[in-house]
Each structure stands twice: as C-alpha cells, then as structure tokens.
Structure 1
Amino acid sequence: MAKTAAALHILVKHKELAESIVSQLNKGAKFDVLAKKHSSCPSGKKGGSLGEFKQGQMVPAFDKVCFSGELITPHIVKTKFGWHVVKVLYRT
C-alpha cells in the first residue's frame, strides 16, 4: 500500500468548468498553464503542484483518488472546497 503520493490539481467552483478542463487536458493542453489560469487554490501559481504528501493528509474524497485512482489520468473530485481536477503523478 502506498504511503505517499504526489499530485497536481486545479480547484474550481463549478463542475462544468472542471469537465471542460479535463477535456482540454485530453486534447493536449498543459496542466500547469490551465492551473495558473483557472485554479482558485494558491497551488495554481505553482502549476497546481501539491508536491508529495502522506495518506490521510488531504480530505477523504481527494485522498481516495490520490491513493487508489489511476496515475496520470485526470480525475474530477468534489470536496467541500469545490471541484478538483486531480492528476496523480506517482505513489511511493
């Protein structure tokens, strides 16, 4: 079982925008460019990078995707903060 993960994310208020971002990513758009443009999280300035974090550090729905979702594939996650487009880079 993975103990840590590294991920990028883009936080937005509306599901439709999250879906549009995933569509753009699937067509080859750069994650960091979209994060800087759309993310309401301070990590957006860093291209959406959350760095490496331990399991249990993030809110449950976000944590679940980071530790069990497919790597590199963009996922949409709803939390109390809004809609996240999450790209898990690796797990250790």
Structure 2
Amino acid sequence: MANTAHALHILVKHKEIAEDIITQLGKGAKFQTLAKKYSSCPSGKKGGDLGEFRRGQMVPQFDKIAFNGAILEPHLVKTKFGWHVIKVLYRT
C-alpha cells in the first residue's frame, strides 16, 4: 500500500468549470497551463503541483482519489473547498 502520492490539482468553485477543464485536458490542453489560468488554490501558480504528500494529509475525498484513483488521469472530486480536478503523478 502506498504511503505517499504526488499530485497536481486545479481548484474551482463550480462543477461546470471543472468538467470543462477535464474536456480541455481530453483535447490535449496542458494541465499546468489550465491550473495557472483557472485554479483558485495558491498551487495554481506552480501549475497545480502539490508535491509529494502523505496519506491523511489531504481531506478524505481528495485522499481517496490520490491513493486509489487511476494514475495520470484527471479525476473530478468535490470537497469543502470546491471542485478539484486531480491528476496523480505517482505513488510510493
């Protein structure tokens, strides 16, 4: 079982925007570019890069995707902060 994960994310307020971001990613848009444009999280300035984090450091809904979702695919997750588009880069 992985203890750490490295992920990128884009945080927005509305589900429709998050779904549009996933559509743009499917058409070849770069995750980092979209993060800089749309994300309300400070990590957006770094292309959405959250770095490596441990299991339990993120809110439960985010953690579930980070440690169980498919790697390198965009995932849509709702948390108390808003809607996240998450891309897990790797787990260790």
Which residue in the other structure is 2:45 paired with? Answer: 45
1:18 deviates by: 0.2
Give the aligned CA root-mean-square deviation in angstroms.
Answer: 0.2
Distance 1:87 1:58 in 2: 14
1:73 deviates by: 0.4
Which residue in the other structure is 1:33 paired with? Answer: 33
Indicate the SS of the match to 1:28. coil
> What do the CA deviations read for 1:6-50 (whole angstroms, capped 9, x no partner)?
000000000000000000001100001000000000000000000
The structure 1 segments of at least 4 consecutive aligned residues displaced by more than 3 Å after TM superposition are none
Identical positions, percent: 75
Structure 2: gaps (5+ residues): none
Compute the TM-score of the two structures, normalised by the length of structure 1.
Answer: 1.00
Letter in 2 for 1:66: A
Letter in 2 for 1:39: S
Compute the TM-score of the two structures, normalised by the length of structure 2.
Answer: 1.00
Where does 1:49-88 land on structure 2 (aligned, <5 Å)?
49-88=49-88
Structure 1: gaps (5+ residues): none
